[in-house]
Each structure stands twice: as structure tokens, then as C-alpha cells.
Amino acid sequence: MEGKKDMLTWEQNTLLSELTIGLEAARKLHAQLGGSSSSSSSLTSFSSPATETSKILLKQILSSYEKSLAIVNWSSSPPVQLILKEDAVAPVTHSGVIPESPASINGSPRSEEFIDGGGSNNTHRQDHFFNSKKRKMLPKWTEKVRINPERGLEGPHQDDVYSWRKYGQKDILGAKFPRSYYRCTHRSTQNCWATKQVQRSNSDPTVFEVTYRGAHTCRQGSAAPPPPASPEKQDTITKQPIAQTPNELLESLKTSLTVRTEGLDDGEDVFSFPNTPPFYDYGTTNDYFGGLMESSPIFDAVDWFNPTVDINPEFPTFLPDSIYY
DNA sequence: TCCATTTGACCAGC
DNA sequence: GCTGGTCAAATGGA
């Protein structure tokens, strides 16, 4: 552990330290607020006092910190032992800590990925790599998102500011609803291999389990240049490495990780990562959902997760629920 | 024309 | 052989 940490750059060490400090502080604050660690409680109770808002925001802060740490850990070569500890203060709603950490696959999976590419932009070679079981070694976490007819999407959803493209849908054994598969729109242009799966819960059709796999290496969000009108025409440009090294990812994280906690009580101060400013326009989709919920209880709300829907920079209407690795 | 979605087929792991 | 995950051709919308 120490040895590994010594091999990190100063920036990585500093970032890890800062993230850890922030995480611990948030956890302590969460504990002082008497934060609940039960995901079900957060799903089923929606009281609205300011303290509840604070708890909710804190949960979101915690989950964001932990995911950021997970990303840093994953992008580190060699990876750092994740600092998250389930027994450290109040656990949020995790069920584990990245069991599929790439720590077991010769350090950086991505280094192997791109070495394997041999400098070629051949998608099939990369596909070949990622078709292997090593693809499963990418960091994975799951978020539960609840759709409330009145309040819209609830649950951590900050990752979905990214552009996703649906590439498959499949009926899963024992699941009432099909699972949808999404990959990053910029896979071909920016070698971003992040994917996500959306599975509607059997027990509660208003709950969706969104499983993310792999960290985004593409440039999206505020710091990102506008996507090319035609990816094909951008081939020569996108061959340049774009935030693919751990350092670049760390740099990106450093610029994006800003937490404002003052004024939590009034509920107006927004916690956000500037890199992930927009959120879905739940106001619009609420109506859509509400109407469908009343008319058809079995509408395919998975499509509702299509990130191509309008986004709204306003405060998100969702509430953090659970993230588990 | 470009891009996203759909959907049947294919492949790897178990 | 079954299942989950992905590919890629077909299709449709902007």
C-alpha cells in the first residue's frame, strides 16, 4: 500500500488526500445529522424539512466523493488501495467497494488496452480487448434511481450528464423488464469505454438499477469542447489522447471537484461538480411520466433514461439513494 | 445525410 | 446449452 502510494505522482497523492479528507468530513457531518444508512428508508420516506435536504445533499456528496475516489483509484497505475472503508463513520448505502477493481489486472487496464491497440485506431482491436473478460474488470458501481410521478427522477444520477448511446436491450432471466445497454457516444471518437445498464426493478417498477462500468475518458460537460458534428470527420483529431492518462484524468477531476456546502439549510445552494452541470429536465419528463403512470403502469420507462432528453441546469429533483460497488 | 434506436445474431463465460 | 453482453444491419427521425 505504502509502496504503491509512493509510486503515485504528487498530484495523485494530493488529490487522494483531499478527496479522503473531504469524504471523511462529509461522513462525520452526515453522522452528526443522524444520517440514515438505509437505502430503503431513503427510497420510501420523503420528508421535506431542511434537515432532510441536508442529509440528502450530504448523501450525494458522499457518493460523489466515493465515486471520485474509485475513479482515481481505477485510473492510478499502479492502483491505490481504495481508501474507502465501510466501517469508517456512517456508511452510506454501499454494499461493497469495487470488487472488480482493476487492481488485479496488471495495474492499469487502459494502458494495456491502448498498448494492445498498437497505435492503431482499429476499433475491432479495441473491441477484441474489451470483449475479453478483462472488460469486466473495469470499475463498476450501481445506482438505484427511483422515479416518482410527482417529483421525477430520484437518486444519484450525476453521471448521466454524459452522452449515452443505446446499443442493446435484452430480456434477463428472472427479470420482468428488459435490460437496456448504453455506451458512451464518444467511444469511437475518444476511446471512451464507459457503459451503463439500466434495469427496472422487479419488486418496485418505479426503481431502476443503473449499473455503470468504466470511467469516462471522454471530454464532456463544461470543460469539453462541443462534440464534432461528424465523428468520422474528426478521426484525425481524436486520435490524440484525450484525458486518457491518469494525470489527465486527475487534472480533470481537480478542476471539477468543487463542493459548496454553505447554506445547506435553505436548500438553494447547489452541490455540483462543474464538470457535470446539466441535469435532465425532469420537469418536462415528470409530466410525461405522470401521464404514463396513470394511463399505463407498465410503460417502458427504461427509455426515460435515455440521456439524450433535454437537460436542465437547475437543481436536480432527484434524491440520492444508494450506490454500491 | 447523419445519428440514434431497434433487434436479431453472435460470442464468451459458466 | 444457457445466459448475459455486445455487435452490426436495418430502420427511422431530424
Write the DSSP symbol of residue A119. Answer: T
Give the pLDDT of residue A115.
Answer: 34
For A114, A202, A206, A282, A309, the CA distances from A149, given in Å and listed in that order, are: 44, 18, 9, 10, 17
Note the CA–C1' distance, A309 to B6, in angstroms.
Answer: 18
With contact defined as beta carbons under 8 Å apart, do A242 and A231 qualify? no
Asked whether the predicted pLDDT for residue A180 surpasses 90, the reply is yes
- Three-class SS of residue A74? helix
Which of the nucleotides lies closest to A186 (Cα–C1')?
B3
Least confident of A22-26, A55-59, A157-161, A175-179: A157-161
Environment class of A282 (CB within 10 Å of its CB; exposed 0-12, middle 13-18, buried 19+)? buried
Q: Among A80, A78, A111, A63, which residue's Cα sits nearest to residue A15?
A: A80
For A64, A273, A284, the CA distances from A311, given in Å and listed in that order, are: 20, 15, 10
Stretch A113-133: mean pLDDT, rounded?
Answer: 40
Q: Rounded distance, CA A271 to CA A251, Å?
A: 20
Measured from the CB, is A226 under 7 Å from any atom of strand C? no
Stretch A301-319: mean pLDDT, rounded?
Answer: 42
Pairing verdict, β A179-184 and A195-200: antiparallel
- Which residues lie below 8 Å from residue A91, measured CB to CB, with a gap of 6+? A37
What's at A154, amino acid-wise?
A: E
pTM, to two decimals: 0.50
Neighbours of A115 (CB within 10 A): 11
Torsion of CA A189, A190, A194, A200, to 10 degrees: -40
With contact defined as beta carbons under 8 Å apart, do A169 and A180 qualify? yes
Measured from the CB, is A197 under 7 Å from any atom of strand C? yes
For A28, A212, A318, the CA distances from A205, given in Å and listed in that order, are: 34, 20, 17
Measured from the CB, is A303 under 7 Å from any atom of strand B? yes
Note the CA–C1' distance, A135 to C2, in angstroms.
Answer: 21
What mean pLDDT value characterizes chain A? 54
Q: Using only C-alpha atoms, what is the Rg of chain A?
A: 19
Question: Cα A25 to the chain's mean position, in Å?
Answer: 21
Q: Which nucleotides of B are covered by protein (CB under 7 A)?
A: 2-9, 11-14
pLDDT in tens, A126-171: 444 444 455 666 778 888 888 765 555 555 454 466 789 999 999 9
Q: Which residue is listed with cell 433535454?
A: A310
- Which residues lie below 8 Å from residue A225, measured CB to CB, with a gap of 6+? A219
Measured from the CB, is A185 under 7 Å from any atom of strand B? yes
pLDDT in tens, A185-241: 887 777 788 888 999 888 888 888 888 888 777 765 433 333 333 333 333 333 333
pLDDT in tens, A15-52: 666 677 777 777 777 677 665 443 333 333 444 556 66
Give the pLDDT of residue A221.
Answer: 44
Measured from the CB, is A86 under 7 Å from any atom of strand B? no
Give the pLDDT of residue A122.
Answer: 39
Which of the nucleotides lies closest to A214 (Cα–C1')?
C5
Q: Rounded distance, CA A194 to CA A75, Å?
A: 13
Pairing verdict, β A140-148 and A322-324: antiparallel
Q: Rounded distance, CA A50 to CA A265, Å?
A: 5
Give the pLDDT of residue A242.
Answer: 37
Measured from the CB, is A167 under 7 Å from any atom of strand C? yes
